[in-house]
Structure 1
């Protein structure tokens, strides 16, 4: 399940349980809408409650970031999982944004919201 909130130029995406392709498409629509109308967006991914994701989600993420990676200022990922941390650094190869991984949600939100 996915939840998406918008606070100014910040898009907060939380995943609970399995991250499915339908969830990813909802994310794409929301973020593309946000960046298209309001300029560059900042993203905050909360993956603390994500249990798993499907292979097609990983492939879509690579394609999305390749096509839209220059449309973001900052991307913060909140996770305690080593594989998700590693995946974030791979994700970083496809974007020109500042990308950081956090274990603490409040620290991530503060960092990603700086200079707004």
Structure 2
């Protein structure tokens, strides 16, 4: 399951349990809409509660990252898992965004800065 918070200049994705392809597609639709109207965005990925990811969801995320390699300015990944942190840093091969990995969400939000006005939550 994922929840998404949408700000004027940033998206925050919070993942819980197992991530499915349908949830990935839903996030992609939302981010595509925001990117179309706002241009490059910052992205916060809170993966602390992520337990697993289906293979098709993983492949989709790689495809999406490659398609949008220039659409995100900075990406903050929050995770207590060394494997997730390693994968996030490896993804810099596919995207031009500056990527940082954090153990605490507050540190990630501080690095990204104060978001623009909250517009909606999903």
TM beyond 0.5: yes
Unaligned regions of 5+ residues in structure 1, if any?
A: none
Displaced runs of 4 or more, over 3 A: none
Tell me the TM-score normalized by structure 1. Answer: 0.94
Tell me if the contact between 1:42 and 1:113 (Cα under 8 Å) persists in the aligned partners.
no
The CA RMSD measured in Å over matched residues stands at: 1.5
Tell me if the contact between 2:7 and 2:115 (Cα under 8 Å) persists in the aligned partners.
no
Residue deviations 1:63-88, cap 9 Å, x none? 11111110110000000011111110
Unaligned regions of 5+ residues in structure 2, if any?
A: 117-122
Tell me the TM-score normalized by structure 2. Answer: 0.90
The 1:82/1:13 distance shift into structure 2, 3 A limit, reads same
| Structure ranking higher on relative contact order (CA contacts 8 Å, 6+ apart) | 2
User: Tell me, what secondary structure is at the counterpart of 1:100?
Assistant: strand
Tell me if the contact between 2:2 and 2:19 (Cα under 8 Å) persists in the aligned partners.
yes
1:113, CA displacement in angstroms?
2.6
Question: Would you tell me which structure has more helix in proportion to its own residues?
Answer: 1
| CA distance, structure 2, for counterparts of residue 78 and residue 24 of structure 1 | 18
